[in-house]
Chain A
Amino acid sequence: MSEDRKLSRRDLLKKGAAGAAAFGAAGATAPFSFAGPLKYKGRYLSGNLSLITWVHFVPAYDQWLDPWAKAWGEKNDVQVTIEHINNTLLDQRAAAEVAAQQGHDLFFNLHPMAAYEDQVINHKPIIQEVSKKLGPYMDIAVKSTYNPKTKKYFAVSDSYVPDPVVWRKDFWNGVGEAPYTWDHVRKAAPKLKAIGHPIGIGQSSNDLDSNMALSAFLMCFGSFLQHDNNRPWLDTKKTVAAVKFMTEIYKTGEDPAIFSWNPASNNQDLLAGHASLILNAISATRTPEDTNLPFSDQLMIWPIPIGPNGRLGLEHLMGCWSIWKFAQNKQNAQQFMVDLLLAGKTATIQSKLYNFPTFEKAFPFPGIRKMAAQDTHKPHGKYTVLTTIAQKYTHNIGYPGTVNAAVDEVLTTSLIPQMFAQVSQGKLSAEDSVRQTRAQVNSIFAKWKARGKI
């Protein structure tokens, strides 16, 4: 597996000089290389390209991406280097590269790096180029990577991941319940814990899963982080109600372990046959299938349960690529992104339907549904619900507003899980916790507004 990753051992910097020269030559013709498109590809592009991305939760995707990138490089006369690191380390690397003003040409992250807006190029040309062939860039992607205040695309998203609930049919049916609404979950929680299979919704800081699950939960209760004009919100009454609801679920149906979870923990809990319900992407079902665990047929995939405000979900992750302003090979990077987006259908298939394309026409929903129906794992057709979730119940973080640096900071400082955890642990009342969190959120938004980013 690692052999495929070893695409180039050569020192980036030694090649940097050659790359810079190539870039200089290519840059002089930059306005034309998109105008006179792909048939001129081979002539204008040469040199290097370095990417950094995560270790995909579905290993098959990386096994496709690395050779694909290499083949792309050979076709375009570019030496491509891909580095994969653990997703928890991406933020740190981004900060280090910005501090050093030197790093990879293409930087992937699981959340749009809105805070680095000033450090990246405007990615609009890439999106325009792909739109010519694949139609419009999806709304969820636009709202995740576009800043309406500065009118800049600070990243380009190649994929989003729908976030279903994954639950154990045998356990739930055994207590005569199903997670149709959050009320059902609340009723079932004590019964499930009593049989030793508690609910597994994390309330941990520094856990992306906890952040997304709880933020989506809030939306189902009518509490939103910001208005559609990107002003901070968090309706007090509704948020308090949501927090109290989740606290009850925790007290009656969850283990205290959830407060120290990392992104892998809820999966592990499910894999160990312990948890009865988690909010996670389908890597949680693919791994049991791949390792032939006995209960993989008992795993059901449903949309997020219905709350008083209906059924609203978030993407589990938003795969976003950014090109630094100080990147050495911006031209190559942009061309690579264009081609990667054009290959959206293949990427989706290779990720076993984990990734969904951000240009709908790349792989239209009916097509995905048909493919999901062909999945042989039992119960048959369980993956088709993903398209329903993707179409109807998946929004960007910060819905109904757009993703911006303030939303990003709320996410990376895990204010939402903390708000819940403090109450679940009995340290603060729901009212106090919500009030404290609102104050923190407001001050973050004020800070970024002062910087002109909102």
Chain B
Amino acid sequence: MSLRRNVFSYAVIIPFTIVLAFPFFWMFVTSLKSETQVFDPTKTWNFHPSLHAYGYLFHHTKYVTWIENSCFVGLLVVLITLAVALPAGYALARLSGRVGRTLGIAIFLTYLVPPTLLFLPLSRVVAQYLHLSDRLWALVVVYPSFTIPFAIWLLMGFFKTIPQELEDAALVDGCSRFGSLVRIVLPISLPGILTVVIFTFSLVLNEFVYAITFISSSANRTVAVGVYTDLIRGDLYDWPGIMAAILIPSIPLALIYNAFLNRFITGFTGGAFR
């Protein structure tokens, strides 16, 4: 039985893994070539590999700065999102009846508004009312607008799986409602919080439209934008450099996500009674 299960697993997983991961493998191969070699059909697979592209990225562009900027924005947005979405998610899951459900759906519906619609009016808000033109703080302020609705929904789901009895028990023991939130619910929902962290960070890194609109100078760019503006020199795509630039953040991120995957899954199942 378990052999059949294993065979099934391998038979499904191996083809999928090849399909999903092959583009990255090809990116890696391309990143080892020199710019003029990438079009040479005779050198598709046999060529002299070199780390020239990586060296160029680190020494001749502001790539490291861009990664720092992305991390900076990512971390702050995660903190803001947690700070705002945790209480909101809890409140909507627990304390409000029908009003809560409607409010929840309303908050979620704002998620459907595409950034291509909002970025022009927002540029006015950011420049004139917030005076944050060309500063990373503009992104830190704007990004939670699409991470918070998503986070609230995730957390609502998590909090719903935590049984009311736990909190009621705490209340009987003399805790205030707020205290029960902090002392009982938060620790159990740690996997849910981790999930929100991962999803939020991923959403921040993927974002392009706002980043290109609000940030001007090369030193303040995030990774997504910097690669686009500095490595694509109009006529010429620096393919090896671009491939290298994609791989460098992706691998650590995938490793981290992988590490937290188990926690995430147990979180979804509501860890209290397992």
Contacts and interface: CB of A to CB of B under 8 A. Distances in A.
A89 B212 contact: yes
Interface stretch (A94-102, A343-351, A412-420): A94-102
A103 B120 CA distance: 13
Given A6-B218, A93-B212, A268-B39, 6 more contacts: A11-B134, A57-B234, A84-B230, A99-B121, A102-B127, A267-B235
B233 A12 contact: no
Contacts of A1: 60
B216 A101 contact: no
Contact of A101 (B61, B124, B228, B232): B124
B263 interface: no
Nearest to A269: B39
A12 B134 contact: yes
Contacts of A5: 218
Contacts of B135: 11
Nearest to B61: A2
B35 interface: yes
Nearest to B38: A272
Contacts of B128: 100-102
A108 interface: no
- Select the residue from B121, B213, B234 with max chain A CB neighbours within 10 A: B234
Interface stretch (A19-27, A48-56, A153-161, A391-399): A48-56
B120 A83 contact: no
A92 B212 contact: yes
Contacts of B39: 268, 271-273
B232 A86 contact: yes
A92 B217 contact: no
B62 A2 contact: yes
Band of interface residues on B: 20 to 34
Interface of A: 1-2, 5-6, 8-9, 11-13, 50, 52, 54-57, 59, 81, 83-89, 92-93, 95-97, 99-104, 263-264, 267-268, 271-273, 283-284, 287, 291, 293
Nearest to A54: B234
Contacts of A8: 217
Contacts of B197: none
Given A12-B133, A86-B228, A293-B36, A57 B123 contact: no
Nearest to A288: B36
A92 B234 contact: no
Contact of A56 (B119, B123, B234): B234
A165 to B, nearest CB: 17
Contacts of B120: 95-96, 99
Given A2-B60, A54-B234, A96-B119, A81 B217 contact: yes
- Select the residue from A1, A86, A271 with max chain B CB neighbours within 10 A: A86
3 interchain residue pairs of minimum CB distance: A100-B127, A272-B39, A102-B127
Contacts of A263: 234-235
A95 B209 CA distance: 13
Contact of A55 (B60, B131, B214, B229): B229
Contacts of A92: 212-213
Contact of A264 (B133, B217, B230, B236): B236
A99 B229 contact: no
B186 interface: no
Given A99-B124, A101-B127, A283-B235, A2 B230 contact: yes
Contacts of A100: 123-124, 126-128, 133
A299 to B, nearest CB: 15
Contacts of B188: none
A101 B127 CA distance: 8
Given A11-B135, A273-B39, A83 B218 contact: yes
Interface in B195-252: 212-214, 216-219, 228-230, 232-237
Contacts of A96: 119-120, 123, 213-214
- Select the residue from A11, A86, A96 with max chain B CB neighbours within 10 A: A96
A99 B232 CA distance: 26
A87 B230 CA distance: 11
